[in-house]
Every structure is written in structure tokens, then in C-alpha cells.
Homo-oligomer: A and B are copies of this chain.
Amino acid sequence: MVMAIRGRPRGFDRDFALRKAMEVFWAKGYDGAQLTDLTAAIGIAPPSFYAAFGSKEAAFLDAVDLYIDRIASAPMRALEAAPTTREGVRAMLEGSVDIAVSNEPGGCLLILGVVNCLPTNRTARDRLLAARRETLKLIAARLRRGVRDGDLPRGTGSTRLAAFYHGVMQAISFQARDGATRKELTALVKPSLAPLDSLASPR
């Protein structure tokens, strides 16, 4: 027996709305994204927005989850899938470049979405901080695997080197936000790999 839905049906698709909201947050950050921007991008009025998401903050949290699932996960999967550590790191960084130039203005939502720690942004900032810590953990785990695989010498400071590569991702985002081209961002990758070259230990 089918329980039919009572009441007037929603006039828009919530998934579409969330995707649009994600794009606006990505482009303007949490503070910069005004409710006007969000509702205009989705094509709805404020009450529909609040009925669908609850609040701007809740919409942001949903948008971050969507961003991680649809956007940010690709470079981390590439990091994991590559046969060697060096190729994995390279693929991760190049994937970060792809993401950074795929929106206007450039950059990564997880890195640029909230930078200052006002009381208002606290929840949003903490969510992004947790996502960044997760990224860092994934990189460190891949580097440790590289040590096990013999890609990297024993005694490699995986945690510290992971922070370095996380830093390269942050630099890619910042410079993309400042208007850097894909070519300029890609040029950041090669010197970043030098630490892996100098550490390289032939098996």
C-alpha cells in the first residue's frame, strides 16, 4: 500500500538546490554567500530555502558533505590508487589543480570556505577544519604505506611530509583564488615533488 504524499508538492528539486548552494558557497565562502545569492542561484524564495535546509548553517554543512563526496574525494582516491607514492602524490596535486580551476573564482571549498573565526562561523569553520584534518590523515597514511612499500626510506617523517603536501594543496587553492591559470598552478607541482626525489631509495 502506497502512502501518498499529502499537501502541495515541492516546486523544485532539493538535490539540484543543494548543488547550486554548494557552488555558491564554493565561490563566495560561508560568510560571503548571502541568502540572496543562494535563493537566487536556486531560483526559490527564502521560505522554501528554510523549509528545505533549516538554516544557512545547516545548508552549508550539507553542501560540504556533497562537496567532499562529489569533488574533493577524487584526488584522494587518485592518491590511494597510484602504484607508487610519488605518482600518487603527483596525481593528488594535479587533481587539486583540476578542482581549483573548475569554479570561478578558483580554489577549494574546504580550504577557502572559512578563514576567520568569528563566533558566527564557528560551526562552519569546525566542519572545514575536520575535513582538512581528514585530508592530512589520508596523505600521511599514504606516505606510511610508501615506506612499507619501499617507495620511501625508513625514518621518513610521514606526518610532517603530509603537512607539506597539504600545504601545497593550500597554495594551489590560494593562488587559484588570486587568478592563477591552470598552467601556473601545474607548475607548482613539479618542485613540490623534489622532496620525494631526494628521499628516493632504490629498492
Contact = CB atoms under 8 A, between A and B. Distances in A.
A31 B161 contact: no
A188 B163 contact: yes
Given A129-B178, A164-B191, A195-B191, A28 B171 contact: no
**A contact patch SS:** helix
A22 interface: no
A32 interface: yes
A175 B170 contact: yes
Q: How many copies does the complex hold?
A: 2
Contacts of A175: 163, 166-167, 170
Contacts of A105: 117
A118 B32 contact: yes
Interface in A117-155: 117-118, 129, 132
A66 B185 CA distance: 31
Contacts of A163: 175, 180, 184, 187-188
A157 B187 contact: yes
A115 B115 CA distance: 8
A112 B177 CA distance: 12
A163 to B, nearest CB: 6
Nearest to A171: B167
Nearest to A33: B116
Given A31-B31, A112-B116, A163-B184, 10 more contacts: A32-B118, A111-B174, A112-B115, A115-B115, A160-B184, A160-B188, A161-B191, A163-B187, A166-B175, A167-B170
